[in-house]
Amino acid sequence: MQIYETQLGEAVSQAIEATGLMQVTAREFDVPHYGGHLDCLLQLRTPAGGRRLAIEMKREAYPRDIRDAVWQLESFRKNHPAATDLILMVAALHLSDGAKETLRHHGIAYFDAGGTLFLKHQDWFIDIQRPSKPAARRSTVPLFTAAREQVVHALLHAHDKYLSGLELAELSNTSTYTVSTVLNELERLEWLASEGSGRTLRRKVSRPAELLDAWADAWRQRRDSRSRWFFYNQNPSTALAHVAERLDHSSKVDGIFTGAAAANLVDPHLTRTDIVDLIIPPGQADTYVDVLGLKPVDKGANLNLIERSGASLLFTKPAPVPGAVFASPFILYLDLLDGKGRNKELATQLRQHHLKI
C-alpha cells in the first residue's frame, strides 16, 4: 500500500465526518474481490443505517485514469449484487476538471485532496467544490518532434472524425506505439474526445484550436535547414509557375510548395509574393540547384529551399498550377507564422476559410 493511499483514506474519512451526516466506524485497505483488489472500504454509520464506501485511489486522475478506476469499482459491486448500501467513489490527490465531469456524469462519488467532495446516494446529495491542489510537476511528452508531429498533423487533418489507433497510424504513416504515446499525452491535457471502448474505441481532438496553437508555438522555434537562391524569371508574379514547370519537366525532383506564394493561390490576399518557398528532402539541395538552375546570392533571393521530412510531407494537395504540389493547409498556415510582411494576415484568413479551427 502506498503512503498517499493511507493519507487519502484519512482525508476522505475526515471530509465525510465533517458533513455531520455520517461517521466512519471502520477503514480497510486492499480489500480482495473476484476482479482484483479494492483500494479502500469505509464502513459508515448514518441516520438511515449502515453504508459502505468503496474507494479507488489515484495520485492524479485524468479522464483516461477514470475508466480503469470505474472498472475496478464495478468489479467490486458485481461481487455484491444484492447490496443497496454500497457507494462507489474515486479519490485522488489531484482530480482534473475533466475527471470530475466524467465521474459526476456517471453518478460516482469523488474526493480531491483540495477538499472537494461530491456524493450522491438515494436521498443524499453532497456537493462541496474547492480549488484542486496543483498537480505535481511531471515530465511531459514532447508532441512536436519527428513521428509524433505526424500524428498531430493527422489528428488535425481529420479533427471532425473519430479514428481508431490503427486508422490513425495508417493516416499518419507512423507506428501504433507512436500513436499511443501521442494520444496518452493529449488525454492528459484533456484535448481528446472518445467513443466506444476496447476494440471499438475511437478518438478525435476535442480542442483542435488549442492543439494547433501549441503546434504553432513549437513551429516558431524550429530550425530548418534553409538556403536562399536566385533564378531568372521575367515576371515575378509567375515565379511559382516557372519553378513548377521546371520540376514537372524533371524526373529527378518533386518538391512541395509552401509559404506566401502558395498560400495566395489557395486563398488570395492581394499580397505581393516575389519569393517561392519549396520543401525538399534533406540533403538534396544540390540536386535542386542543378535542376532549377539556381544561383547563390546574399541579397535579392527569390527562392528558398527548405529541407524537411515527416509531417510536412503529409496531406499534400494538387495545386492550381500545372506540375505543382502544395503543402497541406496546416503546413501552409504554420509557415506563414514567420512574421514577414502580411503573412500573419494571410495565415488568419487561411485558418478561417480552410482550416476552420
Q: What domains appear along the chain, each with residue ranges and CATH number? A: 3-128 (3.40.1350.10), 146-220 (1.10.10.10), 223-355 (3.30.460.40)
pLDDT at residue 133 is higher than 70: no
Q: Quickly state the pLDDT bin for 305 (edges 50, 70, 90).
A: very high
- State residue 270's pLDDT score: 64
Place of cell 492543439: 211
Which single residue is written with the C-alpha cell 475508466?
67
* pTM (2 d.p.): 0.69
Start-to-end Cα distance in the chain: 46
Q: Which residue has the higher pLDDT, 253 or 117?
A: 117
Task: State the CB neighbour count (10 A cutoff) for residue 355.
Answer: 19
Expressed in percent and rounded to 5, the helix, strand and coil fractions of the chain are 40, 25, 35
Using one digit for the tens of pLDDT, what is the confidence trace for 308-355? 999 999 999 988 888 899 999 999 999 999 878 889 899 999 999 999
- Provide DSSP, 36-85: EEEEEEEEEEETTEEEEEEEEEEEEE-HHHHHHHHHHHHHHHHTSTT-SS
Local structure of 186: helix, strand or coil = helix
Query: Under 8 Å CB-to-CB from 15, ≥6 apart: which residues?
Result: 111, 115, 117, 128
Cell numbers that stand for 283 in this block: 540533403
For residues 227 and 248, give the distance between their C-alpha atoms in angstroms, rounded to a whole number: 22
Query: Positive or negative, the Cα torsion across 110, 112, 116, 117?
Result: positive
Sheet holding 124-128, edge to edge: 23-33, 36-46, 49-61, 86-95, 109-112, 117-121, 124-128
pLDDT of 164-216, one tens digit each? 999 999 999 999 999 999 998 898 888 888 888 778 889 999 999 999 999 99
Residue 301 to residues 206, 284, 286, Cα–Cα distance (Å): 42, 19, 17
